[in-house]
Structure 1
Amino acid sequence: MSISASMVKELREKTNAGMMDCKKALEESKGDFNAAVEWLRVKGLSAAAKKADRIAAEGTVAAKTTGKTAAVVEVNSETDFVARNDGFKAFVNEVVDHVINSTATGDLLTQPFKGATVGDALKNAVATIGENIVIRRTEKYTTNDTGLVHTYIHGEGKIGVMIEVQGSTAAVASSADAKTFASDVCLHIAAMNPMALSSADMNPETVAKEKEILKQKNLESGKKPEMIEKIVEGQIRKFLAENCLVDQAFVKNPDLTISAYAKEAGKKAGGELTIKRFTRFELGAGIEKKVNDFAAEVASMQGH
């Protein structure tokens, strides 16, 4: 049968595949539209597999709050150009919505999603967009009647923050002052990157490592060995104050610590406000980016 231009156009609009690929898909499937979609999907998935080993360190961090539930996700792409692509943005929004609304547990990629799985949707996105895409990490908070969840995105998806605050009553948690407090603390977390909520929550290995570094630094700077332990104790207290959220100086008013600001905001709200937990995702943090030596690449192409 002859393949009309309108059939090719319709298939292209549905799949975002190239014009020639759509024409070939319809020819191969003898004009069966659904079979052509599947043919392109299989062809796209084959191409996606080759892209899977490419480093994806760009992308975006996205977050959303719906009532008493909030979620933050990091989805990576290979290039910043793709991160600005409308198709990529739409996929990320779908992932955030899924994380918020789904009751499924276990591996995210195997969870049911639009008649298939999240993993299938990811493969389709890779095939359509033409770049390796990775759903790197997700976090979800659900709070109770006396709780408040809030999210904040900084720098067009470069940093995402999510926080849970507990109020002494439901009225306190739902007050405008509590929301302002949660919003301010999210902004602070984005800027100051605390390592833990409080000293009690700090990883003991991190503290032990820091102590060892400080000990060596003090010895090398000529401090008396018998004084080292006392000096390091003071320095560790400073380290914890600088890196634990509740002890940090509030970025909007350095005269207040975050815990002091919580007391102040609680009074305004008519009760008490307590920060229960937070999550901070920074785009690409910890991903080793491949840096190409362009001169070396050119030389190798020339056989030098």
Structure 2
Amino acid sequence: MSITAAQVNELRKITGAGLMDCKKALTETNGDIEQAVDFLRKKGLAAASKKAGRAATEGAVGSYIHAGGKIGVLVEVNCETDFVARNDSFQVFVKDIAMHIAAASPQYVRREEVPAELLEREKEIYRAKARETGKPENIIEKIIEGQINKFYAEICLMEQNFVKDPDKTVQQFLNETISSIGENMSVRRFARFVLGEGLEKKESDFAAEVAAAAGL
């Protein structure tokens, strides 16, 4: 049978597995979502969810500097043991996450961290736009739900497409690493710095730059 993109996306949301893994699972199970979930779990992806409840208090703070020192990132990634924190695969993961943050500029780690007032403001904007189309309220609410999910995917680290492999989200990349390393891991927090961000040049400095550019 033909497997649709909607089916693949649904399975990805449920399991956090990669795009091709989800498509293969659905193909093998004739599009049955529940059987496809079991198929992926048997392949080892369930290991990540089983480990998710275990305490992860060790780890490392990683850094990444980009654009000749113009952008810098610090990120804390936790794991269960100091042994894994020194593991090369763990260190590579931390570095990759820091690089992703530099490139993708997320604002929050997870959707639960997004302030309620920001979320409501976005919903009101989407609601106003949707009402202009004249669609019924029940359809408008579905449209808003879809727009909010896109909003989360733009600003939340774990829901962004991973810059080194856009076919998977950062959460899926994390799940794969958990399965590979064999310990629970989590991205706890990050800080992204952009040189000069939030600063305003003094008027005299600006005038001097203009004068220099004009040859005065």
TM-score higher than 0.5: yes
- Distance (Å, rounded) in 1 between the aligned partners of 2:128 and 2:200: 29
What TM-score, normalized by structure 1, do the two folds share?
Answer: 0.46
**Residue 47 (structure 2) aligns with:** none
8 Å contact 1:161–1:186 — kept in the other structure?
Answer: yes
- Distance (Å, rounded) in 2 between the aligned partners of 1:247 and 1:163: 16
What TM-score, normalized by structure 2, do the two folds share?
Answer: 0.63
8 Å contact 2:77–2:186 — kept in the other structure?
Answer: yes
Q: What secondary structure does 2:77 align onto?
A: strand
Matched, 1:218 2:130: yes
Q: What secondary structure does 1:156 align onto?
A: coil
- What code does the residue aligned with 1:244 have? C
**What pairs with 1:52-201 in structure 2 (closer than 5 Å)?**
146-201=58-113
**Residue 264 (structure 1) aligns with:** 176
- What code does the residue aligned with 2:179 have? K
Deviation string for 1:99-128 (max 9, x for gaps)?
xxxxxxxxxxxxxxxxxxxxxxxxxxxxxx
Which gives a bigger RCO, structure 1 or 2 (Cα 8 Å, sep 6+)?
2
Structure 1's 145 and 294: CA in aligned 2 closer, same or farther, altered over 3 A?
Answer: closer
8 Å contact 1:152–1:183 — kept in the other structure?
Answer: yes
- Distance (Å, rounded) in 2 between the aligned partners of 1:210 and 1:165: 30
Q: Identity over aligned residues, as a percent? A: 43
Deviation string for 1:24-76 (max 9, x for gaps)?
xxxxxxxxxxxxxxxxxxxxxxxxxxxxxxxxxxxxxxxxxxxxxxxxxxxxx
User: How well do the aligned residues superpose, as a CA RMSD in angstroms?
Assistant: 2.5
8 Å contact 2:57–2:80 — kept in the other structure?
Answer: no
8 Å contact 2:131–2:140 — kept in the other structure?
Answer: yes
The number of equivalent residue pairs is 153
Q: What secondary structure does 2:106 align onto?
A: coil
8 Å contact 2:72–2:102 — kept in the other structure?
Answer: yes
Matched, 1:237 2:159: no
More strand by share: 1
- Distance (Å, rounded) in 2 between the aligned partners of 1:275 and 1:237: 20
More helix by share: 2
